[in-house]
Structure 1
Amino acid sequence: MTEHDRERTALLCVPFAGAGPSFFHPWRATAAGRWRVVPVELPGRERRIMETPYRNVVEAAKNSVDDIVTDLGEGTPTVLFGHSLGAVLAYELVHLLSRREVPVERLVVSGSPGPWTQRERRATGLPDDEFLARVEEFAGFRHEALDHPEMRELILPVLQADCEMHENYVPSTDERVSVPICSIRGSSDGLVDAEQAQEWRHATTGAFSYREIPGDHMYLVNRARDVLDLIEAESARGR
């Protein structure tokens, strides 16, 4: 890591259910000059495909934080971004990073109700085809790789584990974070409504803002620049 990288604010990107770090690789070009994009790499996908995926958010955060601190670099100012499952995992990571002397500047959560809201619409435990249909209904999105038997065999167990840990998530603490939180929602998200997205105001003792971007629950698939521009604007407001 160069001295320039140490000085530049990191954008720590936490994946949504079924996603791997490569989802965020195209963000690097768009973020150039603004942040160093650092995707979180969870077991069960991509380079860690042979490892058992987590089924508990708190466990995933605790077991990932050492590698994350190493990837960020000591003392690197950091903004966290997480969508859906990634939002609650990022929330747990903020608590842990604050104890590791990582200067977290902001938490940006996307497509998620507040951390204490239990997920009523569930896919966990359904047979494979019903599970995939339910997830597709929730997200309004289906990954084309699921239509290929070999890829489906690799992706399905990870997606099932991710959904299980998201749907069963209970925060590790009732203590609020002190960093500012921005909650983003796709304007036509049928899974998370505006009121639920604004529940995040109760998760911080710092500033809170709420923003919408055109699209459904998976708006960020085609809206990377909009997300990054919004994060930059929010960061500028907080200075």
Structure 2
Amino acid sequence: MSGAPSPWLRGLREGAQARARLVCLPHAGGSASFFRPWLAHLPGDIDFLAVQYPGREERFNETHIPCLASLAEHIAHALLALPARPLLLFGHSMGAALAYAVGLRLEAAGLGAAHVFVSAHPPPHRQPSSDLHRQDDAALIADILRQDAEAAGLWANPQLRALFLPTLRSDYQAIETWRPARLAPLAAPIDVLLARDDAEVSLDQARAWADLTAHPPDIRLFDGDHFYLKQQPRPVIHHLLQRTAYLQGDSV
């Protein structure tokens, strides 16, 4: 990155001759490190960045931001400071909502994404109401374990639970309280990635992303549950590259 790097973006790989930039936005409670395994499966001429929300990893001592609109504003500002390059946005779960919100802000600035991928989340106008961020710790943890049983060890540890619960609660507040007064369509294509056994979003909800883009969304089903992409990064990345035709360049 040119100039001082933004704390909002972790550069997992960057090169002067990159053909495109892939920016990934994590789920509620997630961090930039979640996407590090993707490095092994991406072509070398794609810059790869992950968004780092405050309150985790190297930003652990920073104040959480429990407002999705504010998060989107900060992320868009950081992306607009980068050298111009074809941009792919990929957001998982809460990150999907953020990818849409960030995409709108980039387009308003005249530097929209080439393609937006939303994973494992309904569009904002089809998101069910919930208030888990107001409930006790047990209810919040139970919701996480319902989606990701592999995380049981982390949440069973009292010290780790005390460290990570404030971050998780803040993220839940951000997504649960995000109710935009007006939903504008993106000029960029929106594609949807969905797991067959994900109880968080239905196929009908996934189809409703069509309301927020001028392009018919492609909906791709993967085996697995809400965190399907942890088990199969290669097929997910291959799908992203296919859908963008590797930005109209080489085949994949």
Q: Does TM, scored on the shorter chain, surpass 0.5?
A: yes
C-alpha distance in 2 between matches for 1:126 and 1:142: 20
C-alpha distance in 1 between matches for 2:123 and 2:16: 33
What CA deviation, in whole Å up to 9, does each residue of 1:90-125 have, x standing for no partner? 101001112334341100000011121232355221
Q: 2:237 aligns with which of 220, 228, 233?
A: 228
TM-score (norm 1): 0.90
Contact 2:104 2:112 in 1 (8 A): no
Contact 1:79 1:107 in 2 (8 A): yes
| Residues 1:91 and 2:100 are matched in the alignment | yes
**Alignment RMSD:** 2.2
**Given residue 202 of structure 1, which amino acid in structure 2 is its aligned partner?**
D
- Which of 175-184 and 60-69 deviates more? 60-69
Q: Indicate the percent of aligned positions where both proteins have the same amino acid.
A: 29
Q: Within 5 Å, which residues of 2 pair with 1:196-211?
A: 196-211=205-220
Structure 2: which 5+ runs fail to align? 3-13
- Which of 186-195 and 147-156 deviates more? 147-156
Q: 1:177 aligns with which of 179, 186, 190?
A: 186
Q: Within 5 Å, which residues of 2 pair with 1:16-27?
A: 16-27=27-38
C-alpha distance in 2 between matches for 1:80 and 1:183: 12
**Given residue 217 of structure 2, which amino acid in structure 1 is its aligned partner?**
F
C-alpha distance in 2 between matches for 1:46 and 1:143: 20
Q: 1:143 to 1:94 in 2, by over 3 A?
A: farther
Please give the secondary structure, in 2, of the residue aligned with 1:184.
strand
**Given residue 29 of structure 1, which amino acid in structure 2 is its aligned partner?**
A
State the match for 1:14 in structure 2: 25
State the match for 1:43 in structure 2: 54
Q: 1:34 to 1:230 in 2, by over 3 A?
A: farther
What CA deviation, in whole Å up to 9, does each residue of 1:118-169 have, x standing for no partner? 3235522111122211232245552532222222211110011111111222
State the match for 1:142 in structure 2: 151
What CA deviation, in whole Å up to 9, does each residue of 1:165-216 have, x standing for no partner? 1122213632110101110100111121111111111110124211101101
Q: Tell me how far 1:22 sits from its aligned partner.
A: 0.8
Q: 1:168 to 1:125 in 2, by over 3 A?
A: same
Q: Give the paired residue count.
A: 237
Structure 1: which 5+ runs fail to align? none
Please give the secondary structure, in 2, of the residue aligned with 1:53.
coil
| Residues 1:29 and 2:20 are matched in the alignment | no
Q: 1:113 aligns with which of 95, 111, 122?
A: 122
TM-score (norm 2): 0.86
**Given residue 129 of structure 2, which amino acid in structure 1 is its aligned partner?**
E
State the match for 2:8 in structure 1: none
